[in-house]
Amino acid sequence: MAADYKGQPILAVEGLKQYFRVSSSFTVKAVDNVSFRIYPGETYGLVGESGSGKSTIGRSVIRLYDPTAGKITFNGMDISKKISKSDSKALRTQMQMIFQDPMASLNPRKKVEDIIGEGLDIHHAYSSRSERKQKIDAILAKVGLAPEHSSRYPHQFSGGQRQRVGIARALIMNPKLIIADECISALDVSIQAQVVNLMKDIQQETGAAYLFIAHDLSMVKYISDRIGVLHLGHLLETGTTDEIFENPVHPYTRSLLSAIPSPNPVLEKNRTAESYDYRTSGLDYTKGTDHHVSGSHYVKCTDEEFQRFTAR
């Protein structure tokens, strides 16, 4: 797309660690030493199995958690330390997150118009009630909902409609960075396509960058400029979409790509995917360092593993 790789990145994450201490004997290392950058106008796809730490990265970036370690720079500003009230307010509009579980992130007692209009209200981004309504109706239409929907409560929607309310809420403020966490997973293919096309249009118009978290690799392939593959909190492989899809190096990435289902019943009923099990793989993620494959393509592993992976 029109991603701008020359200037400074809109988001730089360096050595991010996010640990959760669940009990005295159980600490979850949800994110372990992860670094990546996103440039203005770029879409960075974050993929990986359930529980690999994708949402946690998103939530750390918008500062729902205090990072255990690491540095997060947004638009040139270090946001991993304490931030002032005014910076925090600016941040809340410039960076938006579309949450994975729409029911849990939408206030059940608020009408949809007030949920979507909240950002407008805080920033007094309209001069009259009718302008507010017009803005809300316009964004509703863009995500495929009707003006009549605005007076309903979240529970009065279908799952996919609710997901689109979350999308509309994030898009209405024209943020610089949108963290989209599985934001289209509950949508049928046609509306998925509509929303993805809409996100691309908005990116063209405003130069917004996306951190696109998803497990659906065919959609990630379609929307992303670059991709990062996450497993057990480690960012194992990153590169442009073509680099990853045409030359997956890490065995985990390879198993992930081989498991993409095809919409062909006879084939699908007979197919088995390449299997991968970390425990029996003999790999140790904590020992890995970034190895350069080509272009912007890197793999995290040891020297010996790198030789093995690339010898194929």
Partner 1 sequence: MAEAKEKILNIENLDITFRTTAGPVHAIRGVNIDLYKGETVAIVGESGSGKSVTMKAAMGILAGNSVINSGTIEFSYKHEDGTPEKVDILTKDKKWIRRHINGKRMAMVFQDPMTSLNPTMTIGKQIMEGMIWHFKTPRQEAWNKAVELLKEVGIEDAEKRMKNYPHQLSGGMRQRVVIAIALSCNPDLLICDEPTTALDVTIQAKIIELIRRVQKERGISVIYITHDLGVVAKVADYVNVMYAGKIVEKGNINEIFYDPRHPYTWGLLSAMPDLDTDDERLYTIPGSPPNLLHEKPGDAFAPRNRYALVLDDKAEPPMFRITETHSAATWLLDPRAPKVEMPQELKNRIERMKKEAMANGSRL
Ligand X SMILES: Nc1ncnc2c1ncn2[C@@H]1O[C@H](COP(=O)(O)OP(=O)(O)OP(=O)(O)O)[C@@H](O)[C@H]1O
Q: Which residues bind partner 1 (CB under 8 A)?
A: 20, 22-23, 26, 47-51, 54-56, 100-104, 144, 146, 148, 151-152, 155-162, 164, 181-182, 185-194, 196-197, 200, 215, 217-219, 221-222, 255-256, 259-270, 273, 276
Task: Return the one option of partner 1, Mg ion, ligand X, none that residue 127 interacts with (CB less than 5 to 8 A, by type).
Answer: none
Task: Return the one option of partner 1, Mg ion, ligand X, none that residue 40 interacts with (CB less than 5 to 8 A, by type).
Answer: none
| Residue of 43, 80, 96, 100 that binds ligand X (CB under 6 A) | 100
Task: Return the one option of partner 1, ligand X, Mg ion, none that residue 86 interacts with (CB less than 5 to 8 A, by type).
Answer: none
Should residue 108 be labelled a site residue for ligand X when binding is judged by CB under 6 A? Answer: no
Q: Edge-to-edge, what's the strand order for the sheet holding 43-47? A: 95-98, 177-181, 209-213, 43-47, 226-231, 234-240, 297-301, 289-294
Give 130 or 190: the residue with its C-beta nearer to ligand X: 190
Should residue 151 be labelled a site residue for ligand X when binding is judged by CB under 6 A? Answer: no
Shortest distance, CB of residue 52 to ligand X, whole angstroms?
Answer: 4
Should residue 55 be labelled a site residue for ligand X when binding is judged by CB under 6 A? Answer: yes
In three-state form (DSSP H/G/I as H, E/B as E, the rest C), the secondary structure along the chain is: CCCCCCCCCCEEEEEEEEEEEEECCEEEEEEEEEEEEECCCCEEEEECCCCCCHHHHHHHHCCCCCCCEEEEEECCEECCCCCCHHHHHHHHHHEEEECCCHHHHCCCCCCHHHHHHHHHHHCCCCCCHHHHHHHHHHHHHHCCCCHHHHHCCHHHCCHHHHHHHHHHHHHCCCCCEEEEECCCCCCCHHHHHHHHHHHHHHHHHHCCEEEEECCCHHHHHHHCCEEEEEECCEEEEEEEHHHHHHCCCCHHHHHHHHCCCCCCHHHHCCCCCCCCCHHHHCCCHHHCEEEEEECCEEEEECHHHHHHHHCC
Q: Which positions from 90 through 129 interact with Mg ion, judged by CB under 5 A?
A: 100
x/- mask, ligand X, residues 252-291, rule CB under 6 A, reads ----------------------------------------
Closest residue to ligand X: CB criterion = 160
Shortest distance, CB of residue 51 to Mg ion, whole angstroms?
Answer: 8
* Selected range binding Mg ion among 10-18, 53-61, 116-124, 254-262, rule: CB under 5 A: 53-61
x/- mask, ligand X, residues 204-233, rule CB under 6 A, reads -----------x------------------
Shortest distance, CB of residue 151 to partner 1, whole angstroms?
Answer: 5
- Interacting residues toward ligand X by CB under 6 A: 20, 22, 28, 30, 48, 50-56, 100, 156-161, 215
